[in-house]
Amino acid sequence: MFKLFSNGCSFLTPRPKDGVNTFTTNILAKHYGLELVNLAMGGRGNDRISFSTKHWFLENQSTDVFAVIGLSSTHRMDYVTSDGWKKGRIQGTDLTWRTWKISDEFRFVGKQPGWNIEQHGTMRWLDVVINLQNFFCLHKIPYLFYNSLPIEKDVSKKDFRQMFEKIDKKRYFRIDWSHYEEIENNKTIVSPNDPHPSTEGHEQWAKQLIEFIDANNLRTI
């Protein structure tokens, strides 16, 4: 194993303006002695995570790589832009992305007949997880999922329950919890006005992930 592939939102990036110069997957890579490849982008959602992850593995050597995915909010709607927004931030790709949040567009959502926001979020989360899980299994890529931000998970519907049962929970760290909730609970945020992980918040979360990875031998297929 020579590389650790990382993808997610701002929770998988440093925040030097707040004195936070590391992040969870950077700590993991150093712990295991792996080269870090990080495609995380602040403010983006799971559509970009899913597509950019698959693109990277199809365009690069996928052997000797351990993938760690910190899933973003289920209510972030990514879209490909025509304005070159933040072009060059991610090497090896021509696509640029922006994101809108359902919470910012309730007026639009309310005009759509019968739109169930919570169930829509659950559907999108399940679809991304099963999609990436199948991709990793098909290409024999060892991986780990966890939630950077809280996800919408309501499996009361049979369709959702059936999909949820197909998730490999051994490769999903604390599926009902998130890094965001952890740092709020432990008061390891940068500041009351900036609920991102402090250095301690990243270190504590990384320690738990390392224990989970090692206990389940996740760096191998």
What local confidence, expressed as pLDDT, does residue 1 receive? 62
Tokens matching residue 185: 């609970």
100-to-103, 145, 167, 169, 171 alpha-carbon distances in Å: 9, 23, 27, 30, 29
Q: How far apart are CA 91 and CA 88, in angstroms?
A: 6
What local confidence, expressed as pLDDT, does residue 89 receive? 83
What local confidence, expressed as pLDDT, does residue 33 receive? 97
Q: What is the rounded average pLDDT of the residues 68-79?
A: 97
Q: What is the rounded average pLDDT of the residues 33-52?
A: 97
Pairing of strands 97-101, 76-80: antiparallel
For the chain, the residue count is: 221
Q: What is the rounded average pLDDT of the residues 15-26?
A: 96
What local confidence, expressed as pLDDT, does residue 63 receive? 83
Instruction: Give 184's contacts (C-beta < 8 A, 6+ positions apart).
Output: 195
pTM value is 0.95
8-to-20, 63, 75, 200 alpha-carbon distances in Å: 17, 21, 14, 19
Q: Per-residue pLDDT tens for 76-99? A: 999 999 999 889 888 889 999 999
The answer to whether the beta carbons of residues 97 and 48 sit under 8 Å apart is yes
In the predicted structure, residue 190 carries a pLDDT above the cut 80:
yes
Domains of the chain, residue spans: 3-215
Instruction: Give 62's contacts (C-beta < 8 A, 6+ positions apart).
Output: 139, 141
Please tell me the class of the 3-215 domain: alpha beta
Give the end-to-end CA distance of the chain in Å, rounded to a whole number.
Answer: 11
pLDDT band at 177 (very low <50, low <70, confident <90, very high): very high
> Residue 198 — φ and ψ, nearest 5°?
-75, 175
What local confidence, expressed as pLDDT, does residue 90 receive? 85
In the predicted structure, residue 62 carries a pLDDT above the cut 80:
no
Q: How far apart are CA 2 and CA 190, in angstroms?
A: 32
Per-position DSSP letters for 117-183, written without gaps between them: HHHHHHHHHHHHHHHHHHHHHHTT--EEEEESS-------SHHHHHHHHTS-GGGBTTTT--HHHHH
Q: What is the rounded average pLDDT of the residues 116-137?
A: 97
In the predicted structure, residue 175 carries a pLDDT above the cut 70:
yes
Q: Per-residue pLDDT tens for 140-153? A: 999 999 999 999 99
In the predicted structure, residue 52 carries a pLDDT above the cut 90:
yes
Tokens matching residue 90: 């991610």
Residue 101 has, within 13 A of its CA and on its CB side, a CA count of 6
Q: How far apart are CA 66 and CA 119, in angstroms?
A: 31
Q: Per-residue pLDDT tens for 156-168? A: 999 999 999 999 9
Q: How far apart are CA 181 and CA 179, in angstroms?
A: 5
